Amino acid sequence: MITPLLLCGGSGTRLWPLSRKSFPKQFASITGAESLFQGAARRLAGDGFAAPLIVTGNDFRFIVTEQLAACEMAPRAILIEPEGRNTAPAVLAAALVLAKDDPAALMLVAPSDHVIPDDAAFRAAVQAAAARAQGGDLVTFGITPDRAETGYGYLELAPGADAGAATPQPLARFVEKPDAARAAQMVASGNFLWNAGIFLFTAETLIAAFRAHAPTVLAPVEAAVAEAHADLGFTRLAAGPWAGVPDISIDYAIMEKAPNLAVMPYGAGWSDLGGWDAVWQESGPDAAGNVTSDHATAIGCTDTLLRSESPRVELVGIGLQDIVAIATTDAVLVAHKSEAQRVKEAVAALKAQGRAQATAFPTDHRPWGWFESLVVGNRFQVKRIHVHPGAALSLQSHHHRSEHWIVVEGTARVTIDDQVQLVTENQSVYIPLGAVHRMENPGKVPMVLIEVQTGSYLGEDDIIRYEDVYARGQGAKG
């Protein structure tokens, strides 16, 4: 059996404004109805695959469980990193956890934000590489290039290797992202593959590689795993040792140094969706080269991506060529496709200006559901709050605001100090400043209410938690 390791702790910004730090692209629906994370989980399930092992960050832990539950999948374990330290420590921590039960366990490392259209072909490639990994090699997956791409690293095959083979091939070296001229030369030679950042090896092989080539990573990660503790259904790596872990990728830490390398060529389609130009390409442009979403209209446009993320925003392009236009409820991106890789600069500029849109959405996901800010004033705020069936918010109070709740769908069980009452559709309730309160959804359908906050300070960090079924502690999200 092969245990998939899904890495989903990143907060990529290259698909802003759809991907932001608070809800990054792996959890968004980019090219289909399911999220990229859900697509990765389904792709690596079924015959020959064990339940996935997940590595993510604290803020995403409940998003992971909710999205897996929607796929009717249960993880082997969910490891919570105290903070992001790049891919090497994350992969090593997972290997150490697997090795406790079976040092020879095969693990497939896969980013959760890639698109691989042919699931069956990819699973077949993984199975074809399994024997080489079981024999003690570190197998990386190389993508057959279809263009001189400068945004990817490359893998140079050893002399005599076959870039189109259906079995792992000897690997000469890793090559950093090239300039355009060098990329064209490498693709023309037929001896280079794109580095997909996907790996297959046994847990003991990887641990041995860290012992030989990156002992400064191994020691603190071993300590963080040894001192890890359970928290609800999660495993929290110990923060103290983790603070001493170097921030380094698995390529730099191990792959560029290890002698026992092999590459599995793969040519059935892959994209890391590293920019809006890649989304345009993977979305199947029409005869005029246009890709449009619902609530987006192209008139006289060519080679253009027009995408609206809200039914309240109709996006119309007229006479555009090679343009990306992405509209959400609170931000709009317009860029030439050739400049799509500069979106990070836009996010940095917004951060420098203190704009919330740089990192956060109006919709905020929580373990009990989500809320959306509808109107924000100087001393008031209006929210729509969606609570899943059977879910409950924490028992809490506020120093600076009072709240009015109006139920518009379902039924709420509301606690205010020592009183508990049911509030149904078209009924309302008032929570005075300082009152200890909670809302729950006791029903079997979602409960939706409108919340009107009034007060001198309306920040999400004005929450004192007394009880919480999700063990989140204090702070805005805990």
Cβ neighbours of residue 90 closer than 8 Å, sequence gap 6 or more: 7, 9, 55, 79, 81
CB 381, CB 400: distance < 8 Å: no
Say if 475 falls within a structural domain.
no
Please state, as a whole number, how many other Cβ atoms lie within 10 Å of the Cβ of residue 440. Answer: 21
155 φ/ψ angles, rounded to the nearest 5 degrees: -120, 125
Say if 412 falls within a structural domain.
yes
Instruction: Looking at the structure, tell me whether residues 26 and 105 fall in a common domain.
Output: yes
Instruction: Looking at the structure, tell me whether residues 459 and 437 fall in a common domain.
Output: yes
Q: Which residue range is the domain that position 105 belongs to?
A: 3-266
Could you give the 3-state DSSP secondary structure of residue 99? helix
pLDDT for the residue 326: 97
pLDDT for the residue 419: 95
Output DSSP code: residue 73: -
Instruction: Looking at the structure, tell me whether residues 344 and 373 fall in a common domain.
Output: no
pTM, two decimal places: 0.88
Residues 50 and 1: their CA atoms lie apart, in Å, by 6
Instruction: Looking at the structure, tell me whether residues 346 and 368 fall in a common domain.
Output: no
Chain center to CA of 66:
13
**265 upstream amide cis, omega within 30 of 0:** no
Q: Which single residue is written with the structure tokens 């940095």?
A: 348
Q: Which of 235, 266, 297 is the last residue of a domain?
A: 266
Split at pLDDT 50, 70, 90, the class of 478 is very low
Say if 274 falls within a structural domain.
no
Q: Tens digits of per-residue pLDDT, 140-177?
A: 999 999 898 888 899 999 998 999 999 999 999 998 88
From edge to edge, which strands make up the β-sheet containing 291-292?
A: 291-292, 305-308, 323-327, 332-336
Q: Tens digits of per-residue pLDDT, 206-219?
A: 999 999 999 999 99
Percent pLDDT > 70 in the chain is: 99
Say if 114 falls within a structural domain.
yes
CB 205, CB 258: distance < 8 Å: no
- 272-307 in b/e form (b: 16+ CB < 10 A) is bbbbbbbbbbbbebeeeebbbeebbebeebeebbbb
Instruction: Looking at the structure, tell me whether residues 310 and 369 fall in a common domain.
Output: no
Distances (CA, A) of 164 to 10, 187, 265: 32, 13, 6
Percent pLDDT > 90 in the chain is: 84
List own/partner pairs for 220-228 with CB under 8 A and 24 or more apart.
Answer: 220/244, 220/245, 221/89, 221/92, 221/93, 221/96, 221/245, 222/96, 224/82, 224/93, 225/93, 225/96, 225/97, 228/79
Say if 383 falls within a structural domain.
yes
Split at pLDDT 50, 70, 90, the class of 475 is low
Q: Lowest mean pLDDT: which of 37-41, 58-62, 386-390?
A: 58-62
Say if 358 falls within a structural domain.
no
Instruction: Looking at the structure, tell me whether residues 320 and 384 fall in a common domain.
Output: no
DSSP letter for each residue of 315-374: EEEES-BSEEEEE-SS-EEEEEGGGGGGHHHHHHHHHHTT-GGGT--SEEEETTEEEEEE
Instruction: Looking at the structure, tell me whether residues 302 and 436 fall in a common domain.
Output: no
30 φ/ψ angles, rounded to the nearest 5 degrees: -100, -50
Instruction: Looking at the structure, tell me whether residues 191 and 293 fall in a common domain.
Output: no
Query: CA 345, 351, 352 angle in degrees (round to 5)?
Result: 90
Instruction: Looking at the structure, tell me whether residues 325 and 374 fall in a common domain.
Output: no
User: Domain count of the chain?
Assistant: 3
Say if 276 falls within a structural domain.
no
Model confidence at 473: pLDDT above 80: no
CATH classification at residue 161: 3.90.550.10
Residues 390 and 293: their CA atoms lie apart, in Å, by 34
Whole-number CA gyration radius for the chain: 24
- 195-216 in b/e form (b: 16+ CB < 10 A) is bbbbbbbbbbbbbbbbeebbee
pLDDT for the residue 35: 95
Instruction: Looking at the structure, tell me whether residues 158 and 23 fall in a common domain.
Output: yes
Q: Which single residue is written with the structure tokens 């609570």?
A: 387
Q: Tens digits of per-residue pLDDT, 353-385?
A: 999 999 999 899 999 999 999 998 999 999 999
Which of 401, 374, 399 has its CA nearest to residue 386?
374
Q: Which of 317, 352, 387 is the last residue of a domain?
A: 352
CATH classification at residue 386: 2.60.120.10
What does the pLDDT average to over 427-440?
96
What does the pLDDT average to over 102-117?
95
- Tokens matching residue 67: 């999205």
Instruction: Looking at the structure, tell me whether residues 154 and 77 fall in a common domain.
Output: yes
pLDDT for the residue 477: 57
What does the pLDDT average to over 43-56?
94
Of 476 and 97, the one with more pLDDT? 97
Mean pLDDT of all residues belonging to the chain: 93
Say if 221 falls within a structural domain.
yes
Model confidence at 447: pLDDT above 70: yes
Instruction: Looking at the structure, tell me whether residues 248 and 341 fall in a common domain.
Output: no
Q: Which single residue is written with the structure tokens 């359908």?
A: 445
Q: Which of 326, 352, 378 is the last residue of a domain?
A: 352
